[in-house]
Structure 1
Amino acid sequence: MEATGGDELEAVKKYFNTSGFERWNKIYGETDEVNKVQLDIRQGHAQTVDKVLKWFDEEGGLQGASVADCGCGTGSLAIPLALRGANVSASDISSSMASEAARRYEAAKGAEPKGNAVFEAKDLESVTGRYDTVTCIDVMIHYPQDKADAMISHLASLSDRRLVVSFAPKTPYYSVLKRIGELFPGPSKATRAYLHAEEDVEAALNRAGFKVTKREMTATSFYFSRLLEAVRS
């Protein structure tokens, strides 16, 4: 497989094991110690996760199904999937993120869990195995299109049936917003943000043998994410 990151991969890994972990752990947590922008991003990400869960619930759930959640962060999707009865193999490039996700899962699963979740510190291209469903939520924003194409190809090779991905869509409006944000860099902006044209992402899915069957868009004041579900064609 073509490397998915290069300099971006090392920058993302370093960021999410240091200052990035502290920032995003707060955003994806329940603490009130977040500013207006961080709270808005938390709410937007939660909406995206809820949409994924709704899709799965409407399709009959994932009881007993195998799921690979790649780029799991602090477990915002992997944990509810396991609580719904899925057997989840979750990974994140950041050992700090993976450890926090495991801690949150242990706190949430109860005495008789329905499913199971295992969390590992692993970059996406190192994930192996075959799974009924593969998910990768809000990860591609850290990588340019050629790296995202390689990511999609590898994710598809892991999936027997279904692939769910999200990305920041490249539109004239969002491109302007991104440019405005870049004019006011802050200390927490340690990695670049990349927008991706939906047709490019869909083309990569098609090349990998998958057909898009569902689409959703989540847009808040500071968070925007296009969500696609694709099935093996």
Structure 2
Amino acid sequence: MKTDDKTIVKDYFNAVGFERWRNIYGDGEVNTVQKNIRIGHKQTIETVVSWLKTDENLAQLTVCDAGCGTGSLAIPLAEAGATVYASDISEKMVGEAETQAKATLGENHNINFSVSDLEAITGNYHTVICLDVLIHYPDRDIPTMVKHLANCAESRFIISFAPKTFFLTLLKKIGEFFPGPSKTTRAYQHSEAEIIKILQENGFEIKRQGMTSTRFYYSRILEAVRT
């Protein structure tokens, strides 16, 4: 990935983006658009947590939460018994996630936090999860990112992204005519077929699929398992 792409995302989430998204992911005061995004993101988290709980083996698993934000996924997975390794490119986000984890789980929680961009994540985990992160990166960076994360997954890789469809592309174009305080970093959509192709080329097949659709939030969720 080009350095400027990482820098844009890192600087944003360590500055104005941190306060904005902490409010969106939490219970702070938000506007109508942000509240809708909060609802959608929560639904995506709930979908993924329900998938993992259905398998009834979370207590035996190591999970990498790549791009953990404020801990909205890592904390419920740790509550369910998983050993979680959570990282984010933003030091402020990781700090907030640690604060939330201690408040919810106590001082001796089973989440290991670190500051890292996606391509710098190391180690091997039963399950790697990357939710609502790819929207910040252009198509040219996706093959390298997805391949790297897939290589860290021993058995399963769960990923979500804003799907590239005619309707969503048109909606995004319309939104660009109305800049305002709800704007964040550049929002990128990605081809589902291309994401699946990358996963298949790296030894995975799709097991489960989900879709979260609200007025201002669209997220395609794929669960891929090693063949």
TM-score per shorter chain, which class? over 0.9
Tell me the secondary structure at the aligned position of residue 26 of structure 2. coil
2:210 match: 216
The percentage of aligned residue pairs carrying the same residue is 51
1:7 match: 4
User: Deviation at 1:35?
Assistant: 1.0
User: Deviation at 1:59?
Assistant: 1.3
1:125 match: 119
User: Deviation at 1:213?
Assistant: 0.9
Q: Distance in 1 between matches of 2:213 and 2:96?
A: 27
Q: Give the counterpart letter for 1:209 in structure 2.
A: G
User: Deviation at 1:84?
Assistant: 0.7
Task: Report the RMSD for the aligned CA atoms in angstroms.
Answer: 1.3
> Aligned in 2, Cα 1:5/1:214: closer, same or farther, shift over 3 Å?
farther
1:18 match: 15
Q: How does 1:78-89 map to 2 (within 5 A)?
A: 78-89=74-85
Unmatched segments (≥5 aa) in structure 2: none
Asked if the contact 2:87/2:116 (under 8 Å) is kept, the reply is yes
Asked if the contact 1:211/1:230 (under 8 Å) is kept, the reply is yes
> Aligned in 2, Cα 1:36/1:199: closer, same or farther, shift over 3 Å?
same
Residue 198 (str. 1) matches residue 192 (str. 2): yes
Q: How does 1:24-39 map to 2 (within 5 A)?
A: 24-31=21-28, 33-39=29-35
Residue 94 (str. 1) matches residue 87 (str. 2): no
Unmatched segments (≥5 aa) in structure 1: none
Give structure 1 regions of 4+ aligned residues with deviation exceeding 4 angstroms: none
1:107 match: 103
> Aligned in 2, Cα 1:188/1:17: closer, same or farther, shift over 3 Å?
farther
Asked if the contact 2:13/2:93 (under 8 Å) is kept, the reply is yes
User: Deviation at 1:190?
Assistant: 4.3
Asked if the contact 1:62/1:86 (under 8 Å) is kept, the reply is yes
> Aligned in 2, Cα 1:160/1:127: closer, same or farther, shift over 3 Å?
same
User: Deviation at 1:125?
Assistant: 1.0
Asked if the contact 1:19/1:188 (under 8 Å) is kept, the reply is no
Q: Distance in 2 between matches of 1:5 and 1:90?
A: 24
User: Deviation at 1:126?
Assistant: 1.0
Report how many residues are paired: 227
Q: How does 1:72-83 map to 2 (within 5 A)?
A: 72-83=68-79
Q: How does 1:52-71 map to 2 (within 5 A)?
A: 52-71=48-67
User: Deviation at 1:186?
Assistant: 2.2
1:172 match: 166
Tell me the secondary structure at the aligned position of residue 106 of structure 1. helix
Q: Distance in 1 between matches of 2:2 and 2:184?
A: 15
Q: Give the counterpart letter for 1:72 in structure 2.
A: C
Q: Give the counterpart letter for 2:5 in structure 1.
A: E
Tell me the secondary structure at the aligned position of residue 214 of structure 1. strand
| Deviation larger for 116-125 or 152-161 | 116-125
User: Deviation at 1:119?
Assistant: 1.3
